Structure 1
């Protein structure tokens, strides 16, 4: 959520991916499949010709329609997208696929609604660093997290050509902030229910998009995966 001090680290970590991928949305008809609060779809709208913001949750869809009137808001299931075949130029799916039970079915739907040459943008936590060594995701709301090779295989098997597979990482300032423990420190507070220490809250509030980088180097140690795939 934007505008919440304690969530600023995670908000910026998501926002930077939107900003990095805006060039693919220039003058395009874009579907954001799983739009959540709607701030990302609104960012895309600055460059796109039209943005359809879709979410399954009724309350969420109603909020997006009120908060961002420039968007076309739909409520629908990602397993059966309520759009015609080959009707959009770009499908954006940021930090959503890890929540889906049928990832293969969702990607088949993305392939269906994209025009030939259209792009699918997916970001998702890297399983190797987000839930290291675990048989199931650490986050109870995730159904299946993906390693870089697994995301690549899913996209290829769905018929896409992978144009970019990159990773999001901390930049130098974040690597040094709180001794490099900014994620762990937030998790410890969340698990314990203790009040936020002033030093931690100050550090979290200070985070900006410039504190992250997206690169193709050493994908297995990245925090989030960032992919762009093309429908042939």
Structure 2
């Protein structure tokens, strides 16, 4: 799974998705969050790191800029192709979180941003993370909890229905709230968890909002008419500068003993 932001992949073509990712990744809060993840990994020049779900490789390039031997892994051949065009010197590989292309204990740092909610078996992925990390190696997981999107609306009941219906369509929608226990169960220690909340008040979030409404409609949780009216409301709020969306992001870090 590519490094998906809260923009999601709702109805996007690959080109549209990449534009959405680029816009979100360029936000100051996104830049700061990635920098925080590198600090939590305690990266030093020469360290060997992997970014799982690397997308087009932005984090891989940033870690390489710190002197780190960084590798990006993503299941999407298209995203890896984009990354290779943008970063021809980067080590970007097609692969998945369950079978990483590294020897036991080969890495000192493991990073996965907005990936684990797309995994049907998060615990299995963490077992693989533990395998490739050397003793003392660090891991950082970043992700949103799909049940905790906060969206202002004149119809809070409908909004709650849409948010929960979309969450139920995600493989592991509450993986982020479980990061701490997942890491402990996988045998990691020195586990810490932080919360960073992204607040959005402009049209940048409209593709995501439309996507979750359409997803709720497709599951039968809401009618097409109700989903359409809700999208119209959010679009109008964006137009007049009154949109409000808050997305808590959980940042968990730990050490392999």
Query: Which deviations, in whole Å up to 9, do the C-alpha atoms of 1:150-170 show, x marking residues without a partner?
Result: 221111000111432000124
Paired position in structure 2 for 1:25: 43
Cα deviation digits, residues 21-67 of structure 1 (max 9, x gap): 22222322111111012112212221142111111122222221221
Query: For residues 21 and 226 of structure 1, what CA distance do their matches in structure 2 show?
Result: 8
Structure 1 residues not aligned, in runs of 5+: 204-220
Larger Rg: 2
Are the structure 2 counterparts of residues 94 and 202 from structure 1 closer, same or farther at C-alpha, using a change threshold of 3 Å?
A: farther
CA contact (8 A) 1:2 1:11 kept: no
Q: Secondary structure at the match of 2:128?
A: helix
Q: Give the structure-1-normalised TM-score.
A: 0.73
Question: What SS does structure 1 have at the residue aligned with 2:109?
Answer: strand
Q: Which residue of 118, 122, 130 corresponds with 1:111? A: 130
| Distance apart, 1:123 and its partner CA | 0.4
Q: Answer yes or no: is the 8 Å Cα contact 1:5–1:201 preserved in 2.
A: no
Aligned to 1:84: 103
2:90 pairs with 1:71:
yes
Q: Give the RMSD, CA atoms, in angstroms.
A: 3.9
Q: When the two structures are aligned, how many residues end up with a matched partner? A: 209
Q: Residue 73 of structure 2 contacts residue 93 of structure 2 at CA under 8 Å; is this kept in 1?
A: yes
Does residue 182 of structure 2 align to residue 167 of structure 1? no
Rounded to whole Å, the distance in 2 between the matches of 1:19 and 1:124 is: 15
CA deviations on 1:75-127 (whole Å, 9 max, x unpaired) are: 11211111100001101101111111111110000000001000111001024
Aligned residue for 2:11? none
